[in-house]
Structure 1
Amino acid sequence: MNSLIGKINKDPHFGKDQEYRNFYDGNRCDSALSGESCNSADSPSGDKVIVDLDAIIEKWAMNMWEKTKTKQTAKCDFEDLDILVNWKKVDMVQDDAKFEQTNPIRKTPQQHTLFKTYFTNRTNQDQEYSFKTERTTRQSCGFNFTKGFSREKEGEIKFKFPNEIVEIGGGIRSEHSVECGKDQTKEEEITWGVDSIIKVKPKSRTCASLVINELELTRNFSVETRLKGRLTVTLNNRKDNQFVKLFSHDIVEIIRQAMDKYWLPPNSCIFEIIEVNGTKYARTNKRNKQIFFEKNKISELTQYN
């Protein structure tokens, strides 16, 4: 995946608080992760764990800065540097999303009347009236990530809904692109129309309505993504934008280092290092939730004598 050069907006406290400096002297939290592959249990199902990949890159750059700084570069504090990350040579490979088949969560349908009108026949014979109307509603499709990673630039993943979701989705598009690890809601306009002939009996009144049923459906999904390639980090002096230092490294090795040095949040077992046909990847595959609303059209007729 080709990506733009991204600039990291650093936390003003980065590098100053003890929490950020623990990795300098090897201090480690007992509850943090360890090893190349994460074999411990996931965090509790109610926890939301999204790893900020840009923050990991910043920590790695800070670590490299401390290791390689000279007397000349030491005159500049890390907090005074801008970080530019070039992702162009990093690929994010994604498999199709897998949706759980069992026990989707459905809430009680809600009925909404979009349009209502009355036809009155005061004559002694049947009358026909034209019932024609068009109304527009908005349909929401929400993505809720509970485990995964986020990235500031070019972190989109694509979803292709299975047929059973598309069929009941009230016109929902079959494919969506969303930012990885970021909760989002997509909205689409749907036009509902009715064009029919209403027969009204003598001396009676008929109510014609355009009604939709709205149903909220939740389905769990998982999507496997794999990162590979080499990124480059450029450090510039924030005061005059002058070049100071450049680092380049394999993204897999950076993530491995993050796991070894406990730069990841405690119990955030989302990455594992794998090798496929001689190529190393940092892989993540975690369950998340996807929510959308189903809308079905109903034309209702009620006759009053």
Structure 2
Amino acid sequence: MGNQNKIQQNIENIQEDDQSYVINLDEIVEQWIRSIWNKAKTKSLSRFKHEDLLIKINWKHVSFIQNNINYYNSSISKFSRTIFRTNFDNKTTNEHSYTFATEKSTKSIFKFTFTRNVYKSQESTIVFHLPEQIIKLNNDIQCEQTIPFGKDTTIEYEKFWDVNSQIRVPSLTRIIAELNIDEEEFRSRFSVSIQFSGHITATISTRQAPNTYLKFIRGDIVKVIYQAMKNNPRLNVFKLIQGNSPSICFIIYGKCLFRYGVKQNIVVNQELLEKPSVSYPNMPSAPLEFCY
């Protein structure tokens, strides 16, 4: 009854589309295992209390297949930021040439947040194929991002930018040179359906002797989930796919945020300097650098 209440509470948390919730597959399977145990236990096994039992679930014989990622309600915003700035001051009466050279880096961020997903104790992965417009602008980024099954994940890549240009500075002039990066921020919702089938296995032992198995249980995961759906209508977020090889389908929902640099720009501004009261002929000042 306790496990049934946990499953119910997980699903009753659904109030809004944005509210995150998780259906724990382990809890559904454990509830089924305990029902099998109660029906099949012998008189000698009846002396063990439920709280003394240790259940180990094995998902290795259940296959999970994902379909293509569907991005929707997408938007792209563009902005620019300065990652390096330096001043070239020429306080002489002659023109001088300076070298504007630097190498800086920015971070490309790929953030995935799940608003509806399922959980199981043995991890699997989901492969996200990035939208085509992002791949074209980021040749150095993998077009497929692999993240843990149903787990909020942020992936970061370092992207390098460099400049090596000659700057000619007129007499009594300050040149302000900046390295600016044009960036994009892609926000979207996503959905991906997964189908799973196969056989679930589990061992039951006691917490006092975890390596001494009292019972081995094996069952069809499709039948286990389908039976749980009939007993709990709120589990109808699962769908039974019938056919020669029946499977269970579940749609995962979430949100993603991708932020990445697309182009570098060198911006040059100039301003006049006051003529110094004491002059030092043909001696340019050293540049003053600011790093961000």
What TM-score do you get using the length of structure 1 for normalisation? 0.78
Paired residues for 1:239-258 under 5 Å: 239-241=208-210, 242-258=212-228
In 2, the alpha carbon distance for the partners of 1:21 and 1:207 equals: 67
Deviation at 1:294, TM superposition (A): 2.8
Measure the CA separation in 2 of the matches of 1:286 and 1:115: 42
Is contact 2:107-2:260 (8 Å) kept? no
2:71 maps to 1:104: no
Q: Which runs of 4+ in 1 moved over 6 A?
A: none
**Offset, 1:173:** 3.0
Deviations along 1:1-40, whole A, 9 cap, x unmatched? xxxxxxxxxxxxxxxxx543679xxxx98xx89xxxxxxx
- Alignment partner of 1:69 is 2:36: no
CA shift, 1:252, in A, is 0.9
Name the counterpart of 2:101.
132
For residue 164 of structure 2, the aligned residue among 195, 201, 220 is 195
Task: Describe how 1:1-305 pairs up with structure 2 within 5 A.
Answer: 19-20=2-3, 44-100=16-72, 103-106=73-76, 109=79, 111-168=80-137, 172-241=141-210, 242-262=212-232, 266=234, 269-276=236-243, 278-296=244-262, 297-305=264-272
Structure 1: gaps spanning 5 or more residues: 1-17, 34-41
Q: Percent identity over the alignment?
A: 30
Structure 2: tracts of 5 or more residues without a match: 273-292
CA contact (8 A) 1:148 1:270 kept: no
User: Is residue 174–residue 271 contact of structure 2 (8 Å, CA) maintained in 1?
Assistant: yes
| Secondary structure of 1:56's aligned partner | helix
Equivalent residues of 2:87, 2:175 under 8 A apart: yes
Q: 1:108 offset after TM fit, Å?
A: 6.8
Larger Rg computed on CA atoms: 2
Could you tell me whether the CA contact under 8 Å between 2:106 and 2:261 is conserved in 1?
no
> Counterparts of 1:292 and 1:274 in 2: how far apart (Å)?
34
- Say which structure is richer in strand: 2
Provide Cα deviations, 1:185-243, integer angstroms capped at 9, x if missing partner: 11222222222222222321111122234443211221121101111111121102211
Q: Tell whether the 8 Å contact from 1:170 to 1:294 is kept in structure 2 after alignment.
A: no
Number of aligned pairs? 267
1:182 and 1:97 map into 2 onto residues whose CA distance is 16
Contact preservation (8 Å) 1:169, 1:293: no
Q: For residues 170 and 214 of structure 1, do their structure 2 counterparts lie closer, same or farther at Cα, with a shift above 3 Å needed?
A: farther
* TM-score normalised by structure 2 residue count: 0.81
Cα offset, 1:96, TM superposition:
2.1
